[in-house]
């Protein structure tokens, strides 16, 4: 039995759209296929004025693909666009080969990469929601309950049984994820007072490598799409003794399945709640500008659009074309070029983050009654104490603290000597 399936990819270029964009998408689909364990044997493009409601690509093209599948020993056909259940069924009948779409492929990859209970629950929920409207295709035969007292009558089809099971499973998974979200909210509440940063970027842009370089964490890294599925948060130490929280989470991709975005909202919450987004882009990728645009589109979709963003141009070590590097620096003047693998530019990135943090803070001198432990605890929780002195029964603190936390301290603030 062979380990890897031979795969035929199908991409459709709609009338008025450029072929170049679809070719880029198909290159990515090939990478996704490889990540899922398949070998791309054939790639097929078709230009159409409109989508065929029955077969997506038209019967004639489907029959051509059937002949190619027979000649090339194809095991699986993957479409770059979402197919309706009817379209997938009709294509399988014509080609005699299993047919899936981009969303199903991505869901399969996520299932392979899910390690924690939270990630597994989120992926399974997305799969169940994707599968439910497609059950009829999976169960073309209908079974009936027959025989015995109390079982006479039409009974219940296997399709109906499975639909009910999936709906129950979806309900259970949603309850599980609600609890995970509540637990995460409790942990987040304990982190008040820290400036929160979140790494976002296209999948395989090097976010996790940068995360490890900044925080000395050991998040898994590798040259695979969606290497990281779970949100991981660590403290990041900056110059001047400042400490912030940095989170790494799942990478983004074009045409990301809607169900996947919805089910991963709990994981992506750290992005929505972040004070600053570190947007990591792979400068070594020929389509890095398109990837930047895709990430920003997904940010809008999850409700994190418009947040303060610092663009990090990663993998400068693989860019041999100096003109390309200069162009990137010119077009993204505020960006920070780094090599997460070699540690180049990491200090400059820390300094830029520090600038953002200090821009949110005020440096004040606070004189508190020595007996007021509650206020003292408040200052130490939400601020960075840089000096301390005790005089006349009062505690004098020089503090850097975010302006939003100053209100309860106004009457205790004194001029800095």
CB 267 within 8 A of CB 249: yes
Q: 148 by DSSP, 3-state: which?
A: coil
CB 341 within 8 A of CB 365: no
Neighbours of 22 (CB within 10 A): 20
Give the list of residues 6+ apart from residue 91 with CB closer than 8 angstroms, or none: 55, 56, 62, 77, 83, 99
Residue 282 confidence class, pLDDT cut points 50, 70, 90: very high
Please name which of 189, 286, 196, 204 lies closest in space to residue 233, comparing C-alpha atoms.
196
Between β-strands 196-201 and 276-282, what pairing exists: parallel, antiparallel or unpaired?
parallel
Residue 150 confidence class, pLDDT cut points 50, 70, 90: very low
pLDDT of res. 138: 55
Neighbours of 163 (CB within 10 A): 17
Percent of the chain's residues with pLDDT above 90 = 35
- For 13-33, write each residue's pLDDT tens digit: 887 666 777 888 888 899 889
What are the phi and psi torsion angles at 81 (to 5°)? -120, 160
Taking the C-alpha atoms of residue 62 and residue 56, their distance in angstroms, rounded to an integer, is 9
Q: Is the pTM of this model over 0.95?
A: no
Residue 221 confidence class, pLDDT cut points 50, 70, 90: low
- For 316-330, write each residue's pLDDT tens digit: 998 888 888 888 889
Give the list of residues 6+ apart from residue 167 with CB closer than 8 angstroms, or none: 132
What is the longest distance spanned by two Cα atoms in the chain? 94
Report the mean per-residue pLDDT for the chain.
84
Cα–Cα–Cα angle for 91, 86, 94, nearest 5°?
Answer: 20
Taking the C-alpha atoms of residue 95 and residue 89, their distance in angstroms, rounded to an integer, is 10
Taking the C-alpha atoms of residue 154 and residue 157, their distance in angstroms, rounded to an integer, is 9
Give the list of residues 6+ apart from residue 321 with CB closer than 8 angstroms, or none: none
């Amino acid at each position: 039995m062979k380990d890897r399936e031979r795969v035929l990819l199908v991409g459709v270029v709609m009338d008025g759209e450029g072929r170049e964009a679809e070719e880029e998408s198909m290159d990515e689909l090939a990478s996704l296929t490889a990540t899922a364990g398949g070998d791309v044997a054939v790639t097929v493009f078709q230009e159409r004025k409109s989508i065929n409601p029955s077969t997506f690509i038209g019967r004639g093209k489907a029959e051509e693909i059937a002949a190619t599948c027979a000649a090339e020993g194809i095991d699986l056909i993957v479409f770059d666009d979402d197919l309706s259940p009817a379209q997938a069924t009709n294509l399988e009948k014509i080609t005699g080969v299993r047919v899936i779409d981009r969303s199903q492929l991505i869901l399969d990859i996520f299932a392979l990469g899910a390690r924690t209970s939270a990630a597994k629950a989120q992926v399974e929920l997305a799969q169940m929601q994707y599968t439910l409207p497609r059950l009829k295709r999976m169960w073309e035969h209908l079974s009936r309950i027959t025989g015995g007292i109390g079982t006479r009558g039409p009974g219940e089809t296997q399709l109906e049984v499975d639909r009910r099971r999936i709906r129950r499973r979806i309900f259970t998974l949603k309850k599980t994820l609600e609890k995970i979200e509540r637990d995460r909210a409790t942990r987040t509440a304990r982190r008040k007072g820290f400036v929160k940063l979140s790494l976002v970027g296209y999948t395989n842009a090097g976010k996790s490598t940068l995360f490890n370089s900044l925080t000395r964490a050991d998040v898994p890294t590798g040259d695979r799409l969606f290497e990281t599925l779970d949100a991981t948060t660590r403290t990041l130490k900056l110059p001047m003794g400042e400490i912030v929280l940095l989170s790494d989470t799942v990478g983004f991709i074009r045409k990301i399945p809607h169900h996947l975005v919805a089910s991963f909202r709990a994981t992506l919450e750290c992005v929505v709640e972040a004070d600053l987004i570190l947007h990591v882009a792979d400068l070594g990728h020929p389509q890095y500008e398109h990837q930047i645009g895709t990430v920003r589109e997904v940010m809008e979709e999850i409700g994190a659009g418009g947040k303060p963003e610092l663009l990090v141009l990663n993998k400068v070590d693989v860019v041999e074309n100096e003109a390309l590097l200069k162009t990137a620096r010119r077009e993204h003047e505020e960006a920070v070029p780094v090599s997460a693998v070699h540690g180049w530019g990491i200090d400059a990135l820390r300094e830029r983050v520090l600038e953002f943090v200090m821009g949110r803070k005020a440096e004040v001198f606070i004189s508190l009654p020595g007996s007021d432990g509650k206020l003292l605890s408040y200052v130490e929780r939400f601020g960075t104490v840089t000096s301390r002195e005790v005089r006349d029964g009062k505690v004098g603190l020089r503090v850097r603290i975010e302006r939003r936390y100053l209100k309860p301290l106004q009457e205790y603030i004194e001029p800095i000597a």
